[in-house]
């Protein structure tokens, strides 16, 4: 993930509440963990089949686990292994090792052990806000390794507020009661009230502690985010994900879906600077995250009785999104099985790539599907096209997967699948490869690079010109990768 140097935070003015918090933090820096998350992680770590991605996914489902892993892995002890720069939970687990991860898991106090009280309920609510923001950030950023890191940044934009709720509950309750639950702008009103009561805003406090813990600049900056980001380079774009995800989390929790439309315009087009997200993208992220609301709430000990009636209702119709159909998944499953048989045929290299492209085209219903293959000049060239033809047959469109710096080249170099919901944004269109104009101006793109032993042999590209954007869930992505890998096996 791109990181930027966090701006120095101003010195925090002394105050009784702040001194009390820092003193308690020195003795007990950890949050309390959810029993269910801890139990599932322990079970996975004890299994011989556990793998890094699975463990990291379980860690990021709990604020306390995520915070402790990041705090330990970025401590001085791990500096020779990259400590101070680690935002990826997969890398944190890899450096720490499964045995140490299990000890970390066992060291945390459980959320279930807190007595029932307004303060405990508020802490659970703040954890829920942070987890929803993390999930929304991953939805906004699309699939790929960067999504988990962006989710972590969005989670710990809430660091200061969660610290106060955990260690100074009376102050947290007073601030909570003084700020109406009205979105958008809830977090900014909380910052103003916390500054009045504590002498420092939640954001300033969170940034101060994150820097004290040795967290990477990306997390320090996210923790101190008080105003809408500005500019158009990689750093602010990363901050926009955190900013928007947290505002959407508050919208999901505190606003009836009947009022979403009136709020989305304000959330995605703030007065001070243009947001890189559209209302349609925000609605899609809300719809996807809403389906997990009850599960996440229960994981932090908030029973459904604590949620409002409209939060328990099926409101996905209020935020429509083009979800992959069951028929698409079933069809691609059958096609993948047939291609496994085709791989055994002597002419697989000629037949399978075309059949794979046709299968993807039929399953996802894009505007076009394109297969680009490596030639003797080392570049990827258009080899097959289904659907809307490319202007000029796509002869001018190449991808330099070795030395290129455009978006497609970087995707191939990283070997990371990429789904872009709005390719017309300047932040995306400015980085498209030379000659890509032959595809017009599609709205959404899906890239599936084909790499073997460090070399890129090809690229599968799908696009759609109009809304709704291409939609891929976990099961469909698994099948897409299977088909891509079968194509790669035929070409090797």
Does residue 38 have a pLDDT over 70?
yes
Q: Which two tokens stand for residue 97?
A: 């090792």
CA dihedral 479, 485, 491, 492 (to 10 degrees): -170
Instruction: Please give the pLDDT value at position 304.
Output: 54
Mean pLDDT confidence for 80-85: 72
Lowest mean pLDDT among 108-112, 308-312, 325-329: 308-312
What confidence category does residue 285 fall into, taking pLDDT thresholds of 50, 70 and 90?
confident
Instruction: Identify the residue whose tokens are 């945390």.
Output: 108
Q: Angle at the Cα of 97 (from 96 to 98), degrees rounded to 5?
A: 130
Mean pLDDT confidence for 189-199: 91
Give 449's strand partners: 459
Does residue 3 have a pLDDT over 70?
no
Distances (CA, A) of 293 to 13, 246, 260, 311, 468: 38, 15, 16, 8, 23
CA dihedral 482, 483, 485, 491 (to 10 degrees): 160
Return the biggest CA–CA distance within the chain: 78
Which residue in 135, 76, 51, 62 sits closest to 105, CA to CA? 62
Can you list the domains of the chain with their CATH numbers?
16-32+114-318 (1.10.3210), 326-491 (3.30.450.40)
Ramachandran assignment for 419, one of left (phi > 0), alpha (psi -120 to 50 degrees), beta (any other):
beta
Mean pLDDT confidence for 406-429: 85
Q: Which two tokens stand for residue 176?
A: 């909570």
What confidence category does residue 154 fall into, taking pLDDT thresholds of 50, 70 and 90?
very high
Contact 157, 222 (CB under 8 A): yes
Distances (CA, A) of 312 to 17, 112, 279, 291, 357: 37, 23, 23, 10, 41
Instruction: Please give the pLDDT value at position 234.
Output: 42
Give 110's strand partners: 33
Q: What is the pLDDT of residues 232-271, one digit of tens each?
A: 444 447 888 999 999 999 988 887 776 777 777 667 665 4
> Looking at per-residue confidence, does 121 or 267 come out higher?
121
Mean pLDDT confidence for 42-70: 85
Supply the mean pLDDT for the chain: 82
Lowest mean pLDDT among 130-139, 144-153, 385-394: 144-153
Distances (CA, A) of 9 to 150, 200, 201, 211, 248: 21, 11, 11, 9, 26
Q: Chain centroid to CA 151: how far?
A: 4
pTM (2 d.p.): 0.61
Q: Angle at the Cα of 481 (from 276 to 97), degrees rounded to 5?
A: 85
Does residue 92 have a pLDDT over 60?
yes
Q: Which two tokens stand for residue 47?
A: 């299994």
């Amino acid at each position: 993930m791109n990181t930027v140097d966090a701006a120095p935070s101003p010195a925090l003015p002394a105050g009784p509440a702040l001194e009390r918090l820092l003193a308690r933090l020195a003795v007990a820096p950890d949050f309390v963990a959810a029993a269910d998350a801890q139990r599932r992680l322990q079970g996975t770590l004890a299994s011989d089949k556990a793998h890094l991605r699975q463990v990291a996914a379980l860690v990021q489902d709990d604020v306390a686990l995520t915070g402790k892993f990041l705090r330990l892995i970025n401590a001085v002890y791990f500096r020779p292994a990259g400590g101070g720069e680690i935002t990826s939970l997969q890398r944190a687990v890899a450096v720490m090792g499964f045995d140490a991860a299990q000890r970390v898991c066992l060291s945390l106090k459980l959320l279930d052990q807190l007595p029932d009280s307004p303060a405990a309920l508020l802490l659970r609510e703040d954890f829920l806000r942070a987890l929803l923001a993390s999930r929304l950030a991953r939805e906004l950023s699309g699939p790929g390794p960067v999504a988990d890191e962006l989710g972590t940044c969005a989670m710990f934009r809430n660091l200061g507020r969660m610290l106060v709720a955990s260690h100074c509950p009376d102050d947290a309750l007073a601030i909570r009661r003084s700020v109406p639950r009205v979105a958008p702008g809830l977090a900014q009103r909380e910052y103003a009230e916390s500054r009045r009561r504590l002498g420092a805003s939640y954001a300033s406090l969170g940034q101060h502690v994150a820097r004290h813990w040795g967290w990477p600049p990306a997390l320090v900056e996210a923790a101190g985010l008080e105003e809408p980001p500005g500019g158009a380079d990689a750093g602010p774009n990363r901050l926009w994900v955190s900013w928007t995800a947290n505002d959407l989390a508050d919208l999901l929790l505190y606003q009836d879906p009947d009022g979403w439309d009136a709020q989305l315009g304000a959330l995605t087009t703030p007065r001070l600077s243009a947001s890189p997200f559209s209302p349609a993208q925000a609605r899609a992220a809300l719809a996807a995250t809403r389906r997990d609301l009850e599960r996440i709430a229960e994981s932090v000990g908030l029973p459904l009785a604590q949620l409002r009636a409209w939060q328990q209702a099926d409101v996905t119709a209020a935020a429509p999104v083009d979800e992959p159909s069951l028929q698409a998944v079933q069809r691609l499953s059958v096609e993948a099985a047939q291609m496994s048989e085709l791989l055994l045929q002597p002419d697989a290299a000629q037949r399978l790539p075309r059949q794979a492209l046709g299968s993807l085209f039929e399953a996802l219903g894009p505007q076009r599907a394109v297969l680009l293959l490596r030639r003797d000049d080392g570049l990827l060239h258009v080899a097959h096209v289904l659907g809307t033809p490319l202007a000029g047959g796509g002869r001018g469109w190449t991808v330099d997967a070795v030395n290129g710096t455009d978006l497609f080249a970087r995707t191939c170099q990283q070997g990371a699948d990429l789904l872009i919901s709005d390719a017309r944004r300047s932040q995306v269109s400015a980085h498209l490869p030379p000659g890509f104009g032959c595809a017009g101006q599609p709205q959404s793109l899906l890239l599936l690079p084909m790499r073997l032993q460090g070399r890129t042999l090809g690229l599968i590209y799908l696009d759609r010109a109009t809304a709704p954007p291409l939609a891929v869930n976990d099961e469909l992505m698994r099948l897409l990768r299977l088909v891509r890998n079968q194509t790669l096996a035929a070409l090797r």
